[in-house]
Structure 1
Amino acid sequence: MSPRPPARPRPSETVDAVVAGGGPAGAVAALVLARAGHRVQLLDDGDQTPATGGPVFKPVFKIGEFLPPAARPLLADLGLLDGFLAAGHPVSTGTYAAWGSARLYGRSHLFDPYGHGWHLDRLRFDAFLRDAAVAAGAELRRAAVLDRLDDRLIVRDRATRAVTELTARWTVDATGRRCVVGRRHSHRLRQDRLVAAYAVFPDHRQSQPADVEARTLVEAAPHGWWYTTRIPAGRLVAHLTDADLAAPSLRTPQGFWRALSRTVHVRHRLAGHSPTATPVPRWAPAHGLRLTPASGPGWVAAGDAALAFDPLSSQGILTALHTGARAGRTVADCLAGAGRTSAALADYTAFLDGIAAAYRRNHAHTYDKEQRWPLSPFWRRRRTANSPRST
């Protein structure tokens, strides 16, 4: 008997637009499209990660936690500022940095025209944006996009694991660095090999003094750099280095603490925390990425799928919001008439080009300020300003 052919995805209905990914870029794109009167489905597979062969776990923290003051006018334009402020995310009053010298210097938001920034509870912030999209008329579906074939999306439902087809006139790829749709059609230019090893040290108020420092601290080190900041879940500590330079011991609580204890300033923010209570470090890619082109017939990319930044820029979430809003308007223009498509996509490309150019200038300028370790591979690579590589 011949084997049974694999089951075909079940067909589904047609919508004006599908937004793949329910993070900040995707939620805002869906919000803009829904307000423009289009039928849009926002696909989000949730903040849960299935363990291989095991249950589904919900994390208590999502990295990418800083929102700069410049987000205020954008949130106001989107009609979201009042709701965001009412959520009570902790205030960020500025930064401290030991960069270019061992001396710690500060930069305050006191004189920023937009006021202070925020340390986000990312899970709550992302949910707020999705709720706003739904309130505007977007249909939230707990599912993941697996692939796109012309105008058909292959979608897997999170609860049932059933695979179906969804037909959409336009798709917004907001699937982050995975770039599920865009990577089939374009090249991705990778800036470097940067990764983040990070841990969240929870508060234990009874056994340690209250941690009330509201500024992020950044400290350069011989083989990369560190940062630490207050978040609602406790104190986040992250080490940024290149993947091939990362010591294997950084994957263990003991190795992470030993590396942390060699810092000059960051370790002082951990006063009161016991080395034996160090969490198991988590890892995340942190290199810059650029998708080119970031749009094509029937699709556009937004957020990290289009442009992903080195965390040193502190612009990741702000850029996700901007590109999500602009992607939503671009797709709305394309849906309004075929004659507008070419101009709308060209304008979107120019918009991304401007953001990418400013990022490259600022990135090079900032890394050039650190000259203390001329023989370090990490810093030497950034001084030579290698061109991004296609991935």
Structure 2
Amino acid sequence: MKHAFEYDCLIVGGGIAGTVTAKQLQEKGYKVALIDERAPSRLHLAESLPATIEPLLQRLGLLELIKSPPHFKHTGMVSLWGSSVPQVMPSVAQHHGWKVDKWSIIEQIKSQLPSACVISGKVKAVAIQQNGWRCHIKKNGVKTDFEIHTRFLIDASGRQGYLPRVLNLHRHTFDKLSAFVANVTVHSPLDAQPSVVVEAFQDGWTLTSKISDNQSMVAIFCNQYTPEFSKFKYAKNWPEVANQTQWFKKVVSNGEFEVKILNASSHIVSQLSGKSWLLVGDAAMSFDPLSSHGMTTAIYMAEKAAHAIDRLFNGDNNALGQYSKTMADIYNSYLNELLGCYRLEQRFKDSKFWQSKQHFSDEEVRNIVG
């Protein structure tokens, strides 16, 4: 192993949180390495951003990126939640934010970074040193591994988290929510198709999220309490749920489509930063898709993480602690808000799924949310 490189910051993970953090730190004048091992997914998740995020995107130099295809304006959400009567929130005629192709915007941001900043590869091992970290890197397509020496290590590696495993940090998990997700073609585009439709059913809830005029992302959310949970891995079984809905059944046909299973649970890691490291995005905390907080909070965390690291490098030893407290407060507010949303659905009182979502069952989670 040879070729040692010196960096101010090394970021593990090239998703939205890691990429935005890299952009901010690079613009502040720091030498940054972004290690990204993931290939863009073929699955479109049809992410949503609220209109209220526009000042943040403007500050970060990202607002213009979402004003052209494949991104488009979010025209509103329809909810069948707590009632069989569709509730439009807000009016479909109003500007409600943006529908964003996450992988496209990640690539757009990466294109603004120096080519030497982005390294396609994997962090194989890390070791804490007196003045930072020694990181063993396996670069894609290259036989010889190399080392990077960095003052600071940022984990943006997603829900699995790299540093929590290395440092043996505990993860507080609220639930075991899973998402069965597919992209489907809408053969006969529906009139006034809303951007998002959420519908509750006996053992979970469904999501229909517009990708384009003739394509949608559809998902079934449930957990181990849902009868025959694993059968939703197969499209042929989806009509069983679709028949319990009004909108979802219009979009989900009896045709074949590929289904992916994703972790959709809420969690927060017990420690979000240390002397020379920090967690950002889903590596730090993750959000139930019902909240629509995931991508928004990841971008916000990236801005705050870069700011905290800059303050630390300029002598503010309280910067990382303040970052951690701010993020824990956000998670606290989110989890209480989420609980309130699930409690709005009272039609399925005998359902173990809804019972599990309407109270805190874990003492550690109750301690987090106060």
Q: Verify same fold: TM over 0.5.
A: yes
**Count of residue pairs brought into register by the alignment:** 358
Of 173, 190, 199, which residue of structure 1 is paired with 2:155? 173
Aligned AA for 2:84?
A
> Aligned residues: percent identity?
26
Moved more, 318-327 or 39-48: 39-48
Q: Measured at CA, do residues 166 and 295 of structure 1 come closer, stay the same or move farther in structure 2, by a change above 3 Å?
A: same
Counterpart Cα distance in 2 of 1:157 and 1:41: 12
Opposite residue 96 of structure 1, the aligned amino acid is V
The answer (yes or no) to whether the contact 2:182–2:258 under 8 Å persists in 1 is yes
State the structure with bigger RCO (CA 8 A, min sep 6), 1 or 2: 1
| Contact 2:3–2:146 (8 Å) recurs in 1 | yes
- Give deviations 1:106-158, integer Å, cap 9, x for gaps: 1016798xx421222222111112223x05x8711111223322112232212
Q: Per the alignment, in what secondary structure is the counterpart of residue 339 of structure 2? A: helix
User: Equivalent residue for 1:314?
Assistant: 292
RMSD value, Cα: 2.3
Once residues 96 and 173 of structure 1 are traced to their aligned partners in structure 2, the CA distance between those partners, rounded to angstroms, is 36
Q: What is the one-letter code of the residue matched to 2:170?
A: H
The answer to whether the 8 Å contact 2:92/2:194 transfers is no
Would you say 1:188 and 2:180 are equivalent positions? no
Cα contact 2:46–2:210 (8 A) shared by 1 = no
Query: How far apart in 2 are the matches of 1:336 and 1:230?
Result: 45
Asked if 1:122 is matched to 2:102, the reply is yes
Is 1:29 aligned to residue 11 of structure 2?
Answer: no
Q: Specify whether residues 81 and 214 from structure 1 end up closer, same or farther in structure 2 by C-alpha distance, changes over 3 A only.
A: same
Residue of structure 1 in register with 2:62 after alignment:
80
Counterpart of 2:282, as a letter, is: D
What is the deviation of 1:210? Answer: 6.0
1: CA distance, partners of 2:90 / 2:293 = 17
Say whether residues 1:213 and 2:220 are aligned partners: no
Q: CA deviation at 1:244?
A: 5.1
Separation of aligned partners in 2, 1:241 and 1:300: 32
Q: How does 1:1-391 map to 2 (within 5 A)?
A: 9-48=1-40, 59-63=41-45, 65-87=47-69, 89-108=71-90, 115-132=95-112, 134=113, 139-150=117-128, 151-160=133-142, 162-185=144-167, 186-204=169-187, 208-209=188-189, 213-232=193-212, 234-243=215-224, 245=226, 247-270=229-252, 273=253, 275=254, 277-337=255-315, 340-341=316-317, 343-387=318-362
Whole-angstrom distance in 1 between the partners of 2:189 and 2:281: 38
| Counterparts in 2 of 1:31 and 1:385: CA distance versus 1, 3 Å | same
Provide, for residues 18-76 of structure 1, a one-character-per-residue CA deviation record: whole Å limited to 9, x for no partner.
1111111111111111111110011112325xxxxxxxxxx433436122222211100
CA contact (8 A) 2:35 2:121 kept: yes
- CA shift in 2, pair 1:138/1:303, >3 Å: farther
Note closer, same or farther for the CA distance 1:138–1:362 as it changes in structure 2 (3 Å cut).
Answer: farther
Instruction: Measure, in 1, the Cα distance between the counterparts of 2:91 and 2:295.
Output: 18
TM-score, L = length of structure 2: 0.90
Gaps of 5+ in 1: 1-8, 49-58
Amino acid at match of 2:193: E
SS at match of 1:199: strand
Counterpart Cα distance in 1 of 2:37 and 2:249: 37
Partner SS for 1:13: strand
Separation in 2, partners of 1:162, 1:333: 36
> What TM-score, normalized to structure 1?
0.85
In the alignment, residue 344 of structure 1 is paired with which amino acid? A
- 3-state DSSP class of the match of 2:88? strand
Question: Do the aligned partners of 1:64 and 1:316 also contact (CA within 8 Å) in 2?
Answer: no
- Judging changes above 3 Å, is the alpha-carbon distance between structure 1 residues 368 and 251 closer, same or farther for their aligned structure 2 residues? same
User: Does the 8 Å contact 2:66/2:72 carry over to 1?
Assistant: no
Measure how far apart 1:388 and its partner are.
6.6
Q: How far, CA to CA, are the matches of 1:73 and 1:356 in structure 2?
A: 22
Does 280-289 or 164-173 show the bigger shift? 164-173
Asked if the contact 2:171–2:267 (Cα under 8 Å) also holds between the matched residues in 1, the reply is yes
Give, in whole Å, the separation in 1 of the partners of 2:116 and 2:281. 19
How much does 1:349 deviate? 1.2
Aligned partner of 2:368 in structure 1 is none
Moved more, 38-47 or 102-111: 102-111
CA contact (8 A) 1:145 1:156 kept: yes
